[in-house]
Chain A
Amino acid sequence: MVRKHTRRAAKAAFAVSFGVALLIGLTAFNGVAQSGVAGATKTVAKPTIVIGTKNFTEEFILGQLYGQALAAKGFHVVYKGSFGSSELANTAIRSGKMNFYPEYTGIIVLDLAKAKKFPQTAAATYQAAKAYEQKHGLTLLKETPFVDSDTFTMLTKTAHKLGVKTIADMKKVKSFSYAGFPECKTRITCLLGLKNVYGLKQVKFVALGSISIYTLLDKGQVTGGDGFTTDPQQNSKKYTALVDNKHIFGFQNVAPVVSQKLLKGSAGMQLESICNKVSSMLTINAMRAMDKAAYVQKATPKQIAHGFLAANGLLK
């Protein structure tokens, strides 16, 4: 009795599990086939632009800004990829899996090209970044006026009290704390720069978890912190970013990294002029306003980009 029971159940278990596995396997292959087709779109007069971005808000907005502006002029735009690291984005564009992504010039020079010395001007950073990309069949379009770099930000009243204006002034402060994302600790463009370039050995690092540096500053829990120049809070007089005379935070303008193939012919020239026009409008105030729309009003990157492009006549 037990045996019979067992046998039937075993057969059922076997049949069901293999059936499920087979079914799922088939769906998977179906999915693979479909995504393959989607990737290989027909070549019309204008090339298909496959845009990737890194996976954070400002990059999503940038991707939508360039993408929607190009789509408005009849380019076929596909959004693909939201990368967890610049290295991954670099691998994807170099292997031809996408042909367009917005990147920060300083990141290209430091993290991708692994330059030992940081260029001392924004122009030199852009040139070094462009030279790196051109070695790999890619190039950089015009850069944005805005810069999104790290800062040494503190409450304005703390800066007054300590009597500091520049990062170098912090030398006279006996001990202070600086909050930043965990990776800040090992970066020359962040904590390591403060210690090694400015010689601020007395700094105590506070790793950020789920609270922004502005909240920590408001609560008086840290002296300073690693705010980004495009953070909407940087517009407020309440906070002050200390002057970085030695440029440890570098120059982080954004420029689209594109495949050189995309720039061929008249379509290529049109693409370049559209993107350059978009880039030229991305001032620090424009970017802060758009980041704020995402962070505070919780508008989606798509809505934000549409609003900005429409207001500036770039969707016509």
Chain B
Amino acid sequence: MTGWRLADGGPVIPNFGHGSECLRDNGWLCTSWVRQHWGDILQPALVQHIELTLIAVGIGFAIAFLLALVGFRWRVFDPPLGAFTDILYTIPSIALYQLLVPVTGLTVTTIEIALVSYTLFVLYRNIVAGLRAVPPEVLESARGMGLTRRQTFLRVELPLAAPAILAGLRVATVATISIATVAAFLIYYGLGGPIFDALGQPDIFRTELLASGGLAILLALSADALLALLQRALTPWSRLR
């Protein structure tokens, strides 16, 4: 690599190339950059982002479901559990990382703990609300037909709550896709990496911002559409209404 040394006798400063004209002008979408860095920046970030989201929503749903069962079955626990998920949602990620890093380190686990705790807020409320919304006369008839408590829950309450639960899942998934960018405040992981990298330059790196931010938006839209389809497939009766 050719380079030059300044008169001050400092180090050799190599020639770093010129970059394309589009990049030097900070164009909105320099396709050459996108093609060049799809493999080493964009695609890995997208895959990591999907992984972050799936794990967060999966574990978040399992935990929220168990909490909601408790809050639904024993009403006294509902307000404190609701308040608990509210408080978790308000903790800034950087503050949470400060507490977690000495224990869980610079890992995906640390990020997932933050992301999972953010999903609980939406999921818990939706599941409880869905279960509560079952009309009393329906429960009355179920009892009249001789269904046990457990049978009533599995065959009546849960199916009737399913649309609300799935709606919660959709909101939580889309929200997590956007919140997962905070991973990049701890480790270079997910689409937050290139997004903050673009934002941190003196003049925003437009191509990188548009490419990585665009991927995040596309991911959110596709996840939403997919869950909408799942919702239709799992609750065919709701279409009759």
B234 on the A face (CB < 8 A): yes
A294 on the B face (CB < 8 A): yes
A101 and B11 CA atoms in complex are apart in Å by 23
Q: Which of B13, B18, B51, B98 neighbours the largest number of chain A CB atoms within 10 Å of its CB?
A: B13
Contact for A91 among B55, B102, B207, B234, CB less than 8 A: B102
CB atoms of B108 and A32 under 8 A apart: yes
Known contacts A2-B237, A91-B101, A285-B10; is A97 also within 8 Å of B59 by CB? Answer: no
A281 and B9 CA atoms in complex are apart in Å by 10
Interface residues in B171-198 (C-beta closer than 8 Å to A): 184-188, 193, 196-197
A286 on the B face (CB < 8 A): yes
Closest A residue to B142 by beta carbon equals A3
B43 on the A face (CB < 8 A): no
CB-CB under 8 A from A256, the residues of chain B are none
Residues 207-225 of chain A: 1 if any B CB is under 8 Å from the residue's CB, otherwise 0? 0001111110000000000
CB atoms of B158 and A10 under 8 A apart: yes
Known contacts A31-B108, A95-B102, A297-B18; is A9 also within 8 Å of B237 by CB? Answer: yes
CB atoms of A88 and B59 under 8 A apart: no
Tell which of A11-19, A115-123, A237-245, A263-271 binds the partner. Answer: A11-19
CB atoms of A9 and B55 under 8 A apart: no
Known contacts A9-B159, A210-B204; is A285 also within 8 Å of B186 by CB? Answer: no
Known contacts A25-B62, A81-B106, A311-B1; is A12 also within 8 Å of B16 by CB? Answer: no
Known contacts A88-B98, A88-B185, A97-B106; is A285 also within 8 Å of B59 by CB? Answer: no
A6 on the B face (CB < 8 A): yes
B222 on the A face (CB < 8 A): no
B118 on the A face (CB < 8 A): no
Interface residues in A268-316 (C-beta closer than 8 Å to B): 281-283, 285-286, 289-290, 292-300, 303-304, 307-308, 310-312
A55 and B193 CA atoms in complex are apart in Å by 8
Contact for A24 among B17, B55, B159, B234, CB less than 8 A: B55
A162 on the B face (CB < 8 A): no
A2 and B184 CA atoms in complex are apart in Å by 49
B136 on the A face (CB < 8 A): no
CB atoms of A84 and B13 under 8 A apart: no
* Chain A min CB distance to B94 (Å): 5
Closest B residue to A7 by beta carbon equals B155
Contact for B193 among A12, A28, A82, A91, CB less than 8 A: A82
A6 and B86 CA atoms in complex are apart in Å by 33
Interface residues in B1-47 (C-beta closer than 8 Å to A): 1, 3, 6, 8, 10-14, 16-19, 23-24, 33, 37, 40-41
Closest B residue to A17 by beta carbon equals B61
B146 on the A face (CB < 8 A): no
CB atoms of A9 and B108 under 8 A apart: no
Q: What is the interface of chain A mostly: helix, strand, loop, or mixed?
A: helix
CB atoms of A24 and B59 under 8 A apart: yes
B205 on the A face (CB < 8 A): yes
A137 on the B face (CB < 8 A): no
CB atoms of B203 and A21 under 8 A apart: no
B162 on the A face (CB < 8 A): yes
CB atoms of A21 and B58 under 8 A apart: yes
A92 on the B face (CB < 8 A): yes
CB atoms of B234 and A12 under 8 A apart: yes
CB-CB under 8 A from A83, the residues of chain B are 185-186
CB-CB under 8 A from B237, the residues of chain A are 2, 5-6, 9
Known contacts A20-B58, A35-B108, A81-B187; is A13 also within 8 Å of B202 by CB? Answer: no
Contact for A295 among B55, B65, B112, B202, CB less than 8 A: B202
B105 on the A face (CB < 8 A): yes
CB-CB under 8 A from B203, the residues of chain A are 211-212, 214-215, 295
CB atoms of B112 and A28 under 8 A apart: yes
- Given A39-B107, A285-B13, 16 additional A-B pairs, CB 8 A: A21-B61, A27-B55, A31-B109, A56-B197, A57-B200, A82-B188, A83-B185, A83-B186, A211-B204, A215-B203, A295-B205, A297-B24, A298-B23, A300-B41, A304-B16, A307-B1
- 24 A-B residue pairings within 8 Å (CB atoms): A5-B237, A6-B156, A6-B159, A6-B237, A9-B235, A9-B237, A10-B159, A18-B62, A25-B59, A32-B108, A55-B184, A56-B200, A57-B197, A81-B106, A82-B184, A82-B187, A85-B94, A97-B105, A212-B202, A213-B202, A285-B13, A299-B17, A311-B12, A311-B14
Which 8 pairs from chain A and chain B are nearest by CB? A24-B58, A84-B185, A297-B19, A293-B16, A10-B159, A95-B102, A281-B11, A212-B202
